[in-house]
Copies of this chain bind each other. A is one copy, B any other.
């Protein structure tokens, strides 16, 4: 097999291995400096090989967003897993099955009703499922408000009936919408403080709370050490993307993921190029649309990774990406021919990666070293 990206069928997904390893090393140092464990989120990558590197950085723990991830990665050696999406009754059997295989899979709940389902499941099967209480920091999603001690204690007591309570989990989802460093630090502090306050509420009532889990890529990177936090969760930092660059927690040159594409049409007046990467290859994610700099469907780079400033994927159809220059910019489109390649940095690594079945892993010389399959589904 050729190792030249020039010989790859396009569109396809490239993963820069050096950047991935540098990004992992950076987060590992952050966790060490904050005196917490690292529980990297494997939902962005959905890959055995990336998970293996992430587990090396974490020392063993990881986070998943689907039971499929828990099954595939748990059976490949990731045995300390947190499924960080609120569990429902129907899923308990699969969770218990994985636990019976030796995978220490923990779940989260945010209400008494589900805690009672967990008790009933124990009464029927004799199986305990270690459970964290999900906290809601910003009112945006699921979770218990950390200051709602009545609800917190009601869930905690129900879970403790059969020794299923293991801790609390907080996620500062609102941090993705920030970009000012002071705001990010405030969000990170709030995440840590809220999680620790909720843990204290449980402990004050004699309930156990060994795990205090916080995190998101921005708050993990912008926060500081906080007494009581036991672990940091973060996922997208492994690959980074334009949204994280807009938040301010990475440079564009840290982005490890890109979509390789081929020019299929050139407009005679040179104001537009069409590539064979549309939203099917780039995803429909427009995460930078609400940021200070909107990158359309992605930032255009030359095949060697050199960024073409202000040259963007302005629009996308299913299999067509429309490339042009950012409005108001004096940049020029590169002079390219049909068949020339371009690389696109993604708005959101999780969404773009999900459109592909494999990573073409490249080295510093942009040579293909390996193909790492991705899995998908639930």
Measured CB to CB, the residues of A under 8 A from B are: 9-12, 43, 65-67, 85-91, 94, 110-111, 113-114, 117, 140-143, 151, 173, 262-266, 268, 274, 276, 279-281, 283-286, 315, 317-320, 322, 337-339, 350-351, 354-357, 376-378
Taking A65-B318, A86-B265 as contacts, is the C-beta distance between A351 and B284 under 8 angstroms? Answer: yes
- Determine whether the beta carbon of A318 is less than 8 Å from that of B90: no
Partner of A111, one of B279, B338, B376: B338
Contact A320 B141 (CB under 8 A): yes
Point out the residues of chain B lying under 8 angstroms from A355, CB to CB.
354
- Report the bound CA distance from A243 to B117 in whole Å: 39
Residues of B within 8 A of A151 (CB): 268
Which of B286, B317, B350, B377 lies in contact with A357, CB distance below 8 A? B377
Other-chain contact of A279, B140, B143, B173, B351 (Cβ < 8 Å): B351
B284 engages A88 (CB within 8 Å)? no
* Shortest Cβ gap from A328 to chain B (Å): 20
In whole Å, how far is A11's beta carbon from the nearest beta carbon of chain B? Answer: 6
- Chain B residues within 8 Å of A274, by CB: 86, 141-142
Which of A88, A90, A113, A117 neighbours the largest number of chain B CB atoms within 10 Å of its CB?
A88
A46 smallest CB distance to B (angstroms):
10
Contact partners of A94 in chain B: CB under 8 A? 9
Pairwise interchain contact A264-B322, C-beta atoms closer than 8 A: no
Among B67, B110, B263, B281, contact of A265 (Cβ-Cβ < 8 Å):
B110
A377, closest chain B residue (CB) = B357
A237 to chain B, nearest CB (A): 15
| Complex copy number for this chain | 2
Top 7 A-B residue pairs of the complex, sorted by shortest distance between their CB atoms: A142-B265, A284-B284, A86-B264, A89-B339, A142-B274, A284-B285, A65-B319
CB neighbours (8 Å) of A376 from chain B are 357
| Interchain CB contact under 8 A, B90 and A322 | no
Residue in B closest to A350 when the chains form the complex, CB atoms: B318
Other than the given A141-B320, A283-B284, 4 more pairs (CB < 8 A) read A114-B338, A279-B351, A284-B285, A284-B351
- The answer to whether B140 and A88 touch across the interface, beta carbons within 8 angstroms, is no
Chain B residues whose CB sits within 8 angstroms of the CB of A113 once the complex forms:
266, 337-338
Which of A140, A264, A280 counts the most B-chain CB atoms under 10 A from its CB? A264
Q: Which of B91, B265, B338, B356 is close to A117, meaning CB atoms less than 8 Å apart?
A: B338
Instruction: Report chain B residues within 8 Å CB of A339.
Output: 88-90, 117
Beyond A11-B378, A276-B88, A285-B284, whether A318 also contacts B43 by CB under 8 A is yes
Question: Are the CB atoms of B320 and A142 closer together than 8 Å?
Answer: yes
Chain B residues within 8 Å of A284, by CB? 283-286, 351
Please indicate the chain B residues that have their CB under 8 angstroms from the CB of A66 in the complex.
319
Report A275 CB to chain B, min CB distance, Å.
9
Residues of B within 8 A of A141 (CB): 265, 274, 317, 320, 322
Q: Measured between C-beta atoms, what is the minimum distance from A308 to chain B in Å? A: 20
A351–B286 Cα gap in the complex (Å)? 14
A62: shortest Cβ distance to chain B, in Å? 16
Q: From residue A151, how far is it (CB to closest CB) to chain B in Å? A: 8
Q: Which of chain B's residues has its CB closest to A12's CB?
A: B378
Q: Are B354 and A320 in contact (CB under 8 A)?
A: no
| Contact status of A111 and B262, CB under 8 A, knowing A85-B276, A274-B86, A339-B88 | no
A266–B144 CA distance with the chains assembled, in angstroms: 11
Set of chain B residues within 8 Å of A266, measured between Cβ atoms: 111, 113
Contacts of A114 in B (CB 8 A): 338
Tell me the bound Cα distance from A250 to B265 in angstroms. 33
In whole angstroms, what is the CA distance A12 to B90 when docked?
14
